C-alpha cells in the first residue's frame, strides 16, 4: 500500500485557526458529556444512598472487566429535551467487556426522574437492542425504573416503534440464541416486568429490587388491597415462590458479580474472520485532525488528510484514483482490521457514483467492512448532468449501499445533505454504527441553499401573477429564519439528541472508536452475501 503524504502545514495560521475552532467544539462536547454523566440533584443522590444503591457509574464499574474499553452509545440522547435534565434519555448504555466477552449493557439511572421511561428512552432502548441484534451481542440490562413517564404515555406505549417493541425484540433475541441477562436493582414495573420475565437469567437484589405488573398504588386502586413493594414483588417472592428470578443478590455489587459469573459460564464467542495484520499507528498524529478540518463547511479540503490520520501506517491502496475524483475509495487497515473506505472530496458526479458502486460490490464480495466518511452536499444537478444519467448512476450507488451485507460504519465529518446522506450510508441505510463530529451538520440541504431555493420559488410565483418582485428587506425576512432553523436543527447536538446518530466524537478519538466498533461487528457471522452474477464495471 502507498503511504498518504500529507500536504498540511501544521505551523500555518490557517491550521492554527482551525485547530482552535475545533478545540472549542470539543471542549463544549466534553462539558456536556460530563454534565450528562454527573449532574444529579442532591435530593436524588441522598435518596439513592439511603436505599443502599450504587450510582450507575459505580454499577458499571463493578460489572465491566477492569481496564477494558467502553464504547458508549448515545450519551447525549434527549439533550435539551423535556426539562433539559433527562440526561442520556435516562439510561446509560454501551458496549463493554464482561467476563472476557463483548456485551451490550443498558442501565436505568434512578436519579433521573426515578428511572421513569421517556419517549426518547424507548427510542434509545430500541436502538441498543438493534445494535445487539445486528452484531449478535449478549444483552445485559441493569433495571431500576418506575416504568413509563405517564404524562407522555401516548408517546411511549401504542405504536410499532414504542415500548411494546422492546419485548418483541426480546422474543427474537431468544429465538436467535442471543443471551439476555437482567439484574433487577430497583423497581421493575408494569410492562417493564416483562424484561426480566423474557430474559434467560434474572438476578434479583434483595430489599431494593421489585418486579410486578401493577405496583402497590395500582393494586390499591384496583382491588383495595394494601401491600408493600417487597411483599408484592420483592426478591424473596420471585426467587422462592414465583420462580421469575433465578439468583438472589445481597446488594448491587453482588448482583454485578453474579452477572459476571453468568457471562463467564457462557460459551465463548466465535468471531467472523476478515483480513487482518499487525496494528500500527498512523504516521500523523490523530490530534492534527483538529487543524485539518476547516472552520466552514463550504471550505474544500482533501479527505485523504483525514484518512492519513485514521488508518494504520497512514497507508491506503486507492481504487480508481484518477477516475471520479470527487469520491476517494480505497483499502486500508484500522487497528489491524481491513476496511474499505469511501470519503467525499466534493459533490458526487456520475463517475463518482459508478466508482463507488463497483468498489462497494468488491468489498461486499470479499467480506471487507465499509467505512463512509461523509462530507457531502449531494449529487450534482443540472441539465447536462441529468442528460448524462446522474439519476440512474446515483441510484446504482444507493442500491449498492443498501444491499451490501458486510458491516458498514459511518462518520459524518462535515456536511450531510440531501441524497448525499443516502448514498454515503446515512442512518436510513442501516450502518452498524453512525457518529458525527462536533462541526457536522445534517439536513435536506444547507441553510443558505434552502433559503435561496425558497426565495427563487417565491420570486417565480410573483412574476407569474404580475406582482412586484421581492425587495431586499423581504428577501432578508425570508432568508434569516430559514438559515437560523437549519443551523439549529442541523447541528450535531440536535442530531444526537434525537438519536439520529450513536454519539458525537472528538475527531482525535475516531480511530480508536472505529477499531472497537469493527471488533464488535465481527461477533455476527459474515453470511448471506449473494455473489449474484459478479461485479460489473458500471
- 315-351 pLDDT, tens digit each: 999 999 999 999 999 999 999 999 999 999 999 999 9
Among 433, 401, 421, 411, which Cα is nearest to 524's? 433
| Residue pair 245/184 in contact by the 8 Å Cβ criterion | yes
What are the grid coordinates assigned to 361, written together?
Answer: 460490490
| Residue 456 pLDDT grade (very low, low, confident, very high; cuts 50, 70, 90) | confident
Rounded to 10 deg, the angle between the 472-490 and 447-464 helix axes is 140
pLDDT of residue 451: 73
517-527 burial, b for 16+ CB within 10 Å, e for fewer?
bbbbbbbbebe
What are the grid coordinates assigned to 24, written together?
Answer: 472549542
For the chain, give the percent of residues with pLDDT over 70: 98
pLDDT exceeds 80 at position 530: no
Residue that the C-alpha cell 453470511 belongs to: 527
In degrees and rounded to multiples of 5, residue 152 shows phi and psi of -115, 30
pLDDT exceeds 90 at position 472: no
Identify the residue with better confidence: 527 or 432.
Answer: 432
Among 326, 432, 328, 415, which Cα is nearest to 375's? 415
Among 403, 41, 473, 59, which Cα is nearest to 257's? 59
pLDDT tens string 199-250: 999 999 999 999 998 889 889 989 999 999 999 999 999 999 999 999 999 9
Mean pLDDT computed over every residue of the chain: 94
pLDDT exceeds 90 at position 488: no
pLDDT exceeds 70 at position 538: no
pLDDT of residue 537: 62
Residue that the C-alpha cell 442471543 belongs to: 178
Length of the chain as a residue count: 538
Distance between CA atoms of residues 352 and 274, nearest Å: 27
DSSP lists the bridge partners of residue 106 as 93, 141
| Residue pair 75/503 in contact by the 8 Å Cβ criterion | yes
| Residue pair 62/19 in contact by the 8 Å Cβ criterion | no
What are the grid coordinates assigned to 416, written together?
Answer: 450531510
| Residue pair 60/92 in contact by the 8 Å Cβ criterion | yes
Distance between CA atoms of residues 281 and 304, nearest Å: 16
pLDDT of residue 528: 62
pLDDT exceeds 90 at position 531: no
Cα 371 to its chain centre, rounded Å, is 14
| Residue pair 326/344 in contact by the 8 Å Cβ criterion | yes
Query: Would you say the pTM of this structure is higher than 0.75?
Result: yes
Rounded to a whole number of angstroms, the CA Rg of the chain reads: 25
| Residue pair 61/67 in contact by the 8 Å Cβ criterion | no
pLDDT tens string 137-174: 999 999 999 888 888 988 888 888 999 999 999 999 99
| Residue pair 142/185 in contact by the 8 Å Cβ criterion | yes
pLDDT tens string 88-138: 999 999 999 999 999 999 999 999 999 999 999 999 999 999 999 999 999
Among 499, 410, 431, 428, which Cα is nearest to 73's? 499
pLDDT of residue 534: 67
Among 196, 207, 60, 35, which Cα is nearest to 112's? 35
pLDDT tens string 41-64: 999 999 999 999 999 999 999 999
Strands 408-417 and 433-436, by their bridges, are parallel
Amino acid at each position: 500500500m502507498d503511504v498518504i503524504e500529507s500536504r498540511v502545514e501544521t505551523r500555518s495560521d490557517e491550521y492554527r485557526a482551525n485547530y482552535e475552532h475545533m478545540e472549542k467544539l470539543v471542549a463544549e462536547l466534553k462539558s456536556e458529556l460530563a454534565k450528562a454523566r454527573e449532574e444529579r440533584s442532591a435530593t436524588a443522590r441522598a435518596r439513592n444512598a439511603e436505599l443502599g444503591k450504587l450510582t450507575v457509574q459505580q454499577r458499571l464499574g463493578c460489572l465491566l472487566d477492569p481496564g477494558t474499553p467502553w464504547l458508549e452509545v448515545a450519551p447525549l440522547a434527549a439533550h435539551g429535551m423535556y426539562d433539559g435534565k433527562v440526561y442520556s434519555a435516562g439510561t446509560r448504555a454501551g458496549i463493554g467487556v464482561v467476563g472476557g466477552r463483548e456485551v451490550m449493557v443498558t442501565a436505568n439511572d434512578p436519579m433521573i426522574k426515578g428511572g421513569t421511561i421517556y419517549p426518547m428512552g424507548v427510542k434509545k432502548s430500541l436502538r441498543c437492542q438493534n445494535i445487539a441484534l445486528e452484531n449478535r451481542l449478549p444483552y445485559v440490562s441493569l433495571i431500576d425504573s418506575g416504568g413509563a413517564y405517564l404524562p407522555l404515555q401516548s408517546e411511549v406505549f401504542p405504536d410499532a416503534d414504542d415500548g411494546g417493541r422492546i419485548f418483541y425484540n426480546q422474543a427474537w433475541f431468544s429465538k436467535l440464541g442471543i443471551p439476555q441477562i437482567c439484574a433487577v436493582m430497583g423497581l421493575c414495573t408494569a410492562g417493564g416486568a416483562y424484561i426480566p420475565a423474557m430474559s434467560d437469567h434474572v438476578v434479583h437484589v434483595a430489599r431494593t429490587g421489585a418486579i410486578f405488573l401493577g405496583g402497590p398504588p395500582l393494586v390499591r386502586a384496583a382491588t383495595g388491597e394494601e401491600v408493600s413493594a417487597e411483599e408484592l414483588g420483592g426478591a424473596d417472592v420471585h426467587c422462592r415462590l414465583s420462580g421469575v428470578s433465578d439468583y438472589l443478590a445481597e446488594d448491587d455489587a453482588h448482583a454485578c458479580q453474579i452477572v459476571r459469573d453468568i457471562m463467564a459460564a457462557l460459551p465463548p464467542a466465535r468471531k467472523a474472520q476478515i483480513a487482518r495484520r499487525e496494528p500500527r499507528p498512523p504516521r500523523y498524529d490523530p490530534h492534527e485532525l483538529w487543524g485539518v478540518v476547516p472552520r466552514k463547511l463550504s471550505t474544500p479540503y482533501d479527505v485523504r488528510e483525514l484518512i492519513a490520520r485514521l488508518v494504520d501506517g497512514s497507508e491506503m491502496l486507492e481504487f480508481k484514483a484518477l477516475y471520479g475524483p470527487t469520491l476517494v475509495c480505497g483499502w486500508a487497515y484500522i487497528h489491524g482490521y481491513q476496511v474499505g473506505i469511501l470519503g467525499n472530496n466534493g459533490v458526487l458526479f456520475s463517475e463518482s457514483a459508478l466508482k463507488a458502486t463497483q468498489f462497494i460490490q468488491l468489498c461486499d464480495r470479499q467480506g471487507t467492512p465499509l467505512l463512509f466518511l461523509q462530507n457531502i452536499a449531494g449529487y450534482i444537478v443540472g441539465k447536462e448532468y441529468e442528460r448524462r444519467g446522474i439519476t440512474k448512476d446515483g441510484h446504482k450507488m444507493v442500491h449498492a449501499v443498501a444491499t451490501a451485507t458486510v458491516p458498514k460504519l459511518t462518520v459524518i465529518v462535515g456536511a450531510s445533505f440531501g441524497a448525499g446522506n443516502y448514498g454515503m450510508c446515512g442512518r436510513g441505510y442501516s450502518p452498524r454504527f453512525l457518529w458525527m463530529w462536533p462541526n457536522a451538520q445534517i439536513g435536506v440541504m444547507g441553510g443558505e441553499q434552502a433559503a435561496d431555493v425558497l426565495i427563487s420559488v417565491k420570486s417565480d410565483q410573483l412574476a407569474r401573477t404580475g406582482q412586484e418582485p421581492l425587495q431586499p428587506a423581504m428577501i432578508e425576512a425570508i432568508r434569516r429564519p430559514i438559515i437560523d432553523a437549519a443551523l439549529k436543527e442541523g447541528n450535531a447536538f440536535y442530531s444526537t439528541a434525537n438519536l439520529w446518530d450513536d454519539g458525537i466524537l472528538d475527531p482525535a478519538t475516531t480511530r480508536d472508536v472505529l477499531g472497537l466498533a469493527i471488533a464488535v461487528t465481527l461477533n455476527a457471522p459474515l453470511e448471506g452475501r449473494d455473489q449474484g452474477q459478479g461485479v460489473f464495471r458500471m
